[in-house]
Structure 1
Amino acid sequence: MAKSTPGLRKKGEIWHIDKTIAGRKLRESTGEKELDAAERYLAMRVHEIRKESIYGERRERTFDEAAARFIEEYGHKRSIERDIDTLKVVMPYIGESTLQKIHSATLDRFIRDRKAAGISAGTLNRDMAIIRRVLKLCAAMWRDEQGRPWLNTAPLLPPIQGTKRKPRPISVAEQDRLIKGMPQYLVDMTLFALHTGLRDQEICGLQWKDEKEISGTSETVFIITEERAKNDHERIVPLNSAARAIVNRYRGQSEFVFHLKGNRLERMNNRAWRKARTSANLVDVRVHDLRHTFGMRLRATGVSLEDREDLLGHHSGHITTHYSKVEITRLIECVELLCDGKHRPELTLVKVA
């Protein structure tokens, strides 16, 4: 067996660097399984660091390096899983490109391919927002050993133009078709979304520690903390009898209310969701449309705009988690209307010629 170069050691199948070069400790993966390739990578990094340390030259970093640092530093983000998905998709297009060579035209093929795959302008703009964020951090925050930014100026990446997708609420009959082909855990999450208006990630991340008792009653509500709320504003989630019956079936099983074999579910929009949606001939329905359905059903039962805003967590001056018992009772009465057979709302799509 060939003797490895000092400073290289194998972890699993991959060679890693552990070496001090020009007074700087270098610990990173070479990404290589073969020793020869790992040695070439090490030689390249030694040359780069010496140029930086001795001659003051700035090493050109790649987008792949920037993405890795972003994931490491922002792993606590609520949307990190979706951010990682975006970075994985864009990596074949710009991953190996140096930061200075990335601009709007560099992403043209990525945008064309995503559009050809049926990705909407809204989703593409969310993808671009993540790419934009990484590049801005390279210019504004991240520095090399000499205090110089990774990138002099972040490029301008214009928004993607396209038709904005309209909400697609579902009827009760469509709801029944949709859940018919789902596994039980996804049925429960779908129905819980329809009775609370919570977003995908809010449901997936819901924990029993978020449940709080209403003072002087046997009722409880869930608190969506500002760290997990999309608009960074804490709010309460009142439960009607249907939502309460759903969560009670999971009580005592895991730290997360909804789970799969005790583990946190990353998203509702998984293979089972897409399969059930296709079987029900509802391929245009997204998980977020469950939230739209909740809001429209509340309106159909006569719930006021102010109460709907509170229940949906829309930020306005009057929204706070410091509700009085009377106010919480009022909100519970509002969502309970969705369980009342006499007020069971049916939505009708009206097409205007």
Structure 2
Amino acid sequence: MNEETKSSLSRDADCLANLDPWIGPLPLDQIHQGTLQPFIEHRREQGIKSATVVRELAVVRRILTLASRVWRDLDNQAWLSVAPLLRMPDWKDAAKPYPLSIDEQRRLLKELPDHLAEMALFAIHTGARDNVVAELRWAWEIKVPEIGSSVFLVPGEFTKNETTYLIVLNSVAKKVIENLRGKHNTHVFGYRGKPVDRMNNSAWRKAWTRAGLPVGDNVLSGPHNLRHTFARRLRLAGVPLETRKALMHHIDGDITVHYSPAEVGELLDAVEKLTKVEGVTMLRLAS
């Protein structure tokens, strides 16, 4: 792993701690599908979601790949001749996203503490992942005079695909930013003078329940639903697919995207449409 760009080292360490009793004593060349299968079966018996196990195995796969392609011993030989192929489990148990209706949004924001409500409203209108919202910093703000506003340019070390991420502010998100300007030195969002570690905490979960929103293993109830809400409303507003992909930071391959002020203006026009998506009926199909 690369400590300079990897933003999830703490979570990776937790994954490796879970794996340690199963593969900890093994040399690298004995870590493969066969030796990992008992761990996979154990996690399934524990009721762990397959997506969680996939994340854990992805850490192993990354280490094995680095050992075969990057890391070298004192004789300049690869630590591992070939990285084994790992089959990722899919138990068809993924929780379904729950994009919010306007009424559900109002109920949730009313129940959330003020600092989380600000973060949630910002996420709904920008599509930023909850970890990015928590990490958002004033140093990342860039003024764009041509559009009469500013944007935030999030460094790749804080994004899921490790590439720079442009956050465009519609009038609602801009108002959130202006209300917070000057309150915290480094981070945009804070609580009691400190940055917020995460949005998905006990206060969030209690507010979600009090708002009468669904809970259970088959439905997402965390802040990631705000991103799904953003995506759904862009579609309802008639925003084209390519523009939606740009706003969601869905990119293909390891590419760097550059935007001119005119292109940023087009993105701004798209997200501004979200301020007019009112009273839309959310049809939820049972699966």
Q: Output the TM-score relative to the length of structure 2.
A: 0.81
Structure-1 separation of matches of 2:208 and 2:191: 20
> SS where residue 322 of structure 1 aligns?
coil
1:86-105 superposed Cα distances (whole Å, 9 cap, x missing partner): 22332333334333433323
User: Are 2:200 and 1:269 aligned?
Assistant: yes
Residue identity in the other structure for 1:124: V
Structure-1 separation of matches of 2:4 and 2:11: 11
> SS where residue 254 of structure 1 aligns?
coil
User: Are 2:35 and 1:111 aligned?
Assistant: no
> SS where residue 168 of structure 1 aligns?
coil
Residue identity in the other structure for 1:324: P
User: Are 2:230 and 1:294 aligned?
Assistant: yes
Change in 2 beyond 3 A, CA 1:146/1:313 = closer
> SS where residue 145 of structure 2 aligns?
coil
Mapped contact 2:146–2:261 kept (Cα < 8 A)? no
The alpha carbon displacement at 1:181 in A equals 3.9
2:19 is aligned, of 78, 90, 98, to 90
The alpha carbon displacement at 1:111 in A equals 2.0
User: Are 2:256 and 1:322 aligned?
Assistant: no
Structure-2 separation of matches of 1:336 and 1:120: 37
Mapped contact 1:210–1:224 kept (Cα < 8 A)? yes
Q: Give 5+ residue unaligned stretches, structure 2.
A: none
Structure-1 separation of matches of 2:138 and 2:204: 24
Structure 2 residue aligned with 1:9: none
Structure 2 residue aligned with 1:349: 283
Structure with bigger gyration radius: 1
Structure 1 residue aligned with 2:120: 190
Change in 2 beyond 3 A, CA 1:242/1:138 = same
Mapped contact 1:301–1:344 kept (Cα < 8 A)? no
Mapped contact 1:297–1:347 kept (Cα < 8 A)? no
1:284-330 superposed Cα distances (whole Å, 9 cap, x missing partner): 2233222121011122123233332332223379x9442234x4334
Mapped contact 1:233–1:315 kept (Cα < 8 A)? no
The alpha carbon displacement at 1:264 in A equals 4.1
User: Are 2:171 and 1:241 aligned?
Assistant: yes
Change in 2 beyond 3 A, CA 1:131/1:224 = same
The alpha carbon displacement at 1:83 in A equals 2.0
Change in 2 beyond 3 A, CA 1:125/1:240 = same
Structure-2 separation of matches of 1:91 and 1:100: 16
Aligned residues: 279
1:241-297 superposed Cα distances (whole Å, 9 cap, x missing partner): 221222223323121212344544443333333343344443322332221210111
Residue identity in the other structure for 1:296: R
The alpha carbon displacement at 1:119 in A equals 3.0
Farther-moved stretch of structure 1 (296-305 vs 128-137): 296-305
1:42-67 superposed Cα distances (whole Å, 9 cap, x missing partner): xxxxxxxxxxxxxxxxxxxxxxxxxx
1:144-193 superposed Cα distances (whole Å, 9 cap, x missing partner): 44444444443332111222734432222333343444332222222211
Residue identity in the other structure for 2:223: V
Mapped contact 2:5–2:157 kept (Cα < 8 A)? no
Structure 2 residue aligned with 1:332: 268
Structure-2 separation of matches of 1:142 and 1:290: 39
Mapped contact 1:224–1:235 kept (Cα < 8 A)? yes
Structure 1 residue aligned with 2:56: 127
Mapped contact 1:297–1:346 kept (Cα < 8 A)? no
The alpha carbon displacement at 1:113 in A equals 3.5
Change in 2 beyond 3 A, CA 1:225/1:147 = closer
Structure 2 residue aligned with 1:53: none
Mapped contact 1:236–1:321 kept (Cα < 8 A)? no
Change in 2 beyond 3 A, CA 1:79/1:181 = same
Structure 1 residue aligned with 2:136: 206
User: Are 2:106 and 1:172 aligned?
Assistant: no
Q: Output the TM-score relative to the length of structure 1.
A: 0.67
Residue identity in the other structure for 1:133: R
1:23-59 superposed Cα distances (whole Å, 9 cap, x missing partner): xxxxxxxxxxxxxxxxxxxxxxxxxxxxxxxxxxxxx
Higher relative contact order (CA 8 A, sep 6+): 2
